[in-house]
Amino acid sequence: MAHTVSVSKWAFAFSFFFSVSECFITIPLKIYRGSYNVSSTVDLTRRVVLTSDGNGLSLASDPTGTVNFLDMVNNLQGDSGRGYYIEMSIGTPGQKVNILVDTGSSNFAVAAAPHPFITHYFNTALSSTYQSTGRTVAVRYTQGNWEGELGVDLVSIPKGPNGSISINIAAILSSEGFFLPNVNWQGILGLAYPMLARPDSSVEPFFNSMVQQLGIPDIFSLQMCGAGLSASSTADPAGGSLIMGGVEPALYRGSVWYTPIVEEWYYQVEVLKLEVGDQNLELDCREYNMDKAIVDSGTTLLRLPVNVFNAVVEAITRSSLIQDFSSGFWDGTKLACWMKGETPWRFFPKLSIYLRATNTSQSFRITILPQLYIQPITDVDGTMDCFRFGLSSSANGLVIGATVMEGFYVVFDRVQQRLGFALSSCAVSGGVALSEIAGPFSAADVAANCSGGMLKEPLLWVISYALIAVCAVVLIILLLLLVLPCRGRNLSGEITDESSLVRHRIK
């Protein structure tokens, strides 16, 4: 970002500081429940010794008992619209709470005060092991925000690795737009890197603490089973699995395809191109990575930079059998409804995202069918089913959210700094697989670095702090000049408010 020399250092420093002082992280929107019984597709009687897939991933069950991946299958509840959450026990004696799983933030935060939209909260006064650090913390998301205090307490996960761990906890004392009506979670589990932790990266994230204290591999994997479900269903939430410490092969089909993690803050990846049906959008690959491209389980939709979003809508409209859709459907303000039994899937094309492979001269393609992005929301009078568009425009980069993730089993391999995608065993509806993976393809037709050119948030923080430090030094010098006698000056030697140095630096 270019700045002219004439910009005042003071104005530049403070405006720059405030412009980067917010952490924008999305949390889910409200929709209705869906259901899927993933256990019917998993052989829960299987017990296999811990092995490796040849690429350093832990598979199946750990015979020592620390990690039993099959015990973690189906440990999530929820759906894409209201988020996927896991049950935890916090404090001594343990208080059970449901915690939203979010790979797009890094704080472990839980309600510590009553709120009209939650049924219960973590009462710090009832835990003999809770210790406040005396530090305050606040996080602002794209939707909602909260404030509270930092503390430390013991946490265990009933359907997770064995043992209790000492965890940094943000006790939420007040919030706005964060807890939503009809959600069944009382906190958020940020699974991203320390760089995103607030108030600073010295607050060790939950999964980092788990790896250090329990000795499990620095890998987790995520299956979200809301794909293709009717949101108006009255059945139990869809659910899914958060496998901490490795990968459970029963949850995916075929091979795992890997893409490098570009930078360890969010789970940032490099998107090379998008296709609508078989049509390449023909955009410069840097358009897809404008600001950043991340994989975020806490974001409901597939969010695209404005230019990319407009190109996708235009391509869908051009290829769709329905040419006169209301603009409100595309921008998320209106639903599209069909008579019951007349599903809209045949009217829409597939969407494909090409990711750079670990062999950087190659790419692979993840594809979602329209059942994943034309999403059932509710019915009308029992005669019509209504759907929403599962994509939205974004001012904060491309976000691969639940709309896409529900089609795949996603491996967060932090050891080898890569993300893996495989076909999810639960991304099937009516016997039809709702997602596809193909590759490898040559990446010779795209730039060597599609994610370059934009300053990242951590770097902006460093620059802003450096500028403030420089300004502070200048201010100290000015104050010293104001109060110390100066040699060689006429009269009293004072620097008055007519000094050009003072006036033009502060103006």
Q: Which residues are catalytic?
A: 102, 296
If we measure between CA atoms, which residue out of 259, 273, 299, 265 comes closest to residue 401?
299
Q: Over 311-347, what HEC string results?
A: HHHHHHHHHCCCCCCCHHHHCCCCCEEEECCCCCHHH
CA–CA separation, 229 and 238 (whole Å): 8
N-terminal to C-terminal alpha carbon distance within the chain: 23
Angle at 370 between CA 76 and CA 349, to 5 degrees: 155
Q: How far apart are CA 434 and CA 258, in angstroms?
A: 20
- H helix runs in 86-185, sequence order: none
Contact 26, 401 (CB under 8 A): yes
Give 321-325 contacts, CB < 8 A, sequence gap 24+: 321/346, 321/347, 322/347
Give the HSE-up count for residue 100: Cα atoms under 13 Å, Cβ half-sphere.
33
- Cis previous bond, 305, omega within 30: no
**Closest alpha carbon to 264 in 456, 493, 472, 45:** 456
125 φ/ψ angles, rounded to the nearest 5 degrees: -70, -20
Count the Cβ atoms, other than its own, within 10 Å of residue 491.
5
Rounded to whole angstroms, how far apart are CA atoms 424 and 239?
13
